DNA sequence: ATCGATGCAAAGGTTTTGCATCAAT
DNA sequence: ATTGATGCAAAACCTTTGCATCGAT
């Protein structure tokens, strides 16, 4: 077991989950991913490594990891949910509507303003996510 | 035809769509809605008025109206898409995770900051939406 | 040995689509 | 009359679930 998978294993145990090959695999796929794969893509990548992984397990694993706070589910418009390892800071996503490329963006100031606004309404933020659909500026 | 439906009719024609009973009905339902109904709820409400409206038409109509810029599709997490008439100003949604209540929130300052941020990346915002899952403050 | 996790297949819920008919232009 | 819109039913699509088996503890 590599140092990397040892870390994963500890995180899983800390969340009260059994350390299975499948979970290590899914976590590792998401940690290595440069993009934001959906369940089907995670499944395909997992299959390349272990031909016996099932669809059901991928879905169950993704839900379990989400509930354990290890990964985050992203709900984009009109497409299956995508996943990413839990980010350290709240960040949002910009989708290039022409290429489909996803860019992560962060603004502490916006986060602060939002928290204030929500607090004024008598609420506490549990989670938040901004989806921006944008197009490259032609004159950029 | 009431003044209200005349307005709808003009909006439809301006969008290059035929003015059908079904479209007027769906638009009218969304304009009167105090909530953010999903396709199924729109269908049910339409059925109460016209027993012949079909599911397929509701979905096709919602997509057509969205493309025409008359209504907006809201993608919440893990639930079917909801719809609202196109708002004059960009606004976001706060979902009370305990009651399911949806509250509309707006902040010109946040919108401005976001536009700036996106522009700096060389993009123009096509649409944007923030979903905040929140819980009432116990000590509010 | 226990009991949670898995794989398979089948079902569930939401949305789309093919096609004949209808109705707005 | 033309052609887009509708209704119906069937399919597609994404996700969840029942159940027998497997494997982590």
**Structural domains of chain B in order of their starting residue, each with its CATH number:** 3-85 (1.10.10.10), 92-134 (3.30.1490.190)
pLDDT at A132 over 80: yes
Left if phi > 0, otherwise alpha if psi is -120 to 50, otherwise beta: which for A124?
A: beta
Where does the pLDDT of residue A32 fall: very low under 50, low under 70, confident under 90, or very high at 90 and above? very high
CA–CA min distance B127, chain A (Å)? 5
- pTM: predicted TM-score of the whole model, two decimal places: 0.87
B23 touches strand D (CB under 7 A): yes
Cα A37 from Cα A25, distance rounded (Å): 14
The whole-number pLDDT of residue A140 equals 54
Cβ-based contacts of A123 with chain B (< 8 Å): 94, 96, 132, 134-137, 140
Where does the pLDDT of residue B60 fall: very low under 50, low under 70, confident under 90, or very high at 90 and above? very high
Q: Decide the pairing of beta strands B123-136 and B92-96.
A: parallel
Cα A131 from Cα A39, distance rounded (Å): 19
Provide the chain A residues 11-40 that lie in CB contact (below 8 A) with chain B.
Answer: none
pLDDT at B6 over 80: no
Cβ-based contacts of A124 with chain B (< 8 Å): 134-137
pLDDT at B110 over 70: yes
Contact A73 B75 (CB under 8 A): no
Residue to test with chain A: of B117, B119, B135, B136, most A Cβ within 10 A: B117
Are B123 and A136 in contact by the 8 Å Cβ rule? The answer is yes
CA–CA min distance B3, chain A (Å)? 34
Beta bridge partners of B130: A130
Contact A123 B113 (CB under 8 A): no
Q: Quick check: B81 contacting A, CB < 8 Å?
A: yes
**Total length of chain B:** 140
Express each pLDDT in A64-104 by its tens digit.
Answer: 999 999 999 999 888 999 999 988 788 999 999 888 889 99
Task: Look up residue B133 and give its two tokens.
Answer: 């899952």
Contact A125 B137 (CB under 8 A): no
Are A83 and A73 in contact by the 8 Å Cβ rule? The answer is yes
Nearest CA in chain A to B97: A126
| Residue found by looking up tokens 């509010």 in the block | B140
Q: Quick check: B98 contacting A, CB < 8 Å?
A: no
Q: Which nucleotide is nearest to A18 (CA to C1')?
A: D24
Q: Which nucleotide is nearest to A51 (CA to C1')?
A: C7
The whole-number pLDDT of residue A4 equals 62
Nearest CA in chain A to B119: A137
Q: Quick check: A86 contacting B, CB < 8 Å?
A: no
The 10 Å Cβ neighbour count of residue B136 is 15
B133 touches strand C (CB under 7 A): no
pLDDT at A56 over 80: yes
The whole-number pLDDT of residue A100 equals 86
């Amino acid at each position: 077991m590599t140092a990397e998978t040892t870390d994963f294993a500890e995180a899983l145990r800390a969340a009260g989950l059994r350390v299975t090959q499948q979970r290590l695999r899914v976590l590792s796929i998401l940690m290595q991913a440069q993009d934001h794969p959906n369940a089907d893509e995670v499944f395909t990548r997992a299959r390349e490594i272990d031909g016996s992984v099932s669809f059901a397990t991928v879905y169950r694993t993704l839900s379990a990891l989400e509930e354990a706070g290890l990964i985050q589910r992203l709900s984009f418009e009109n497409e299956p949910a995508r996943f990413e390892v839990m980010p350290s800071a709240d960040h949002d996503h910009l989708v290039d509507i022409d290429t489909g490329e996803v860019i992560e963006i962060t603004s502490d100031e916006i986060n602060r303003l939002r928290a204030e606004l929500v607090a004024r309404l008598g609420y506490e933020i549990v989670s938040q996510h901004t989806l921006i659909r944008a197009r490259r500026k032609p004159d950029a």
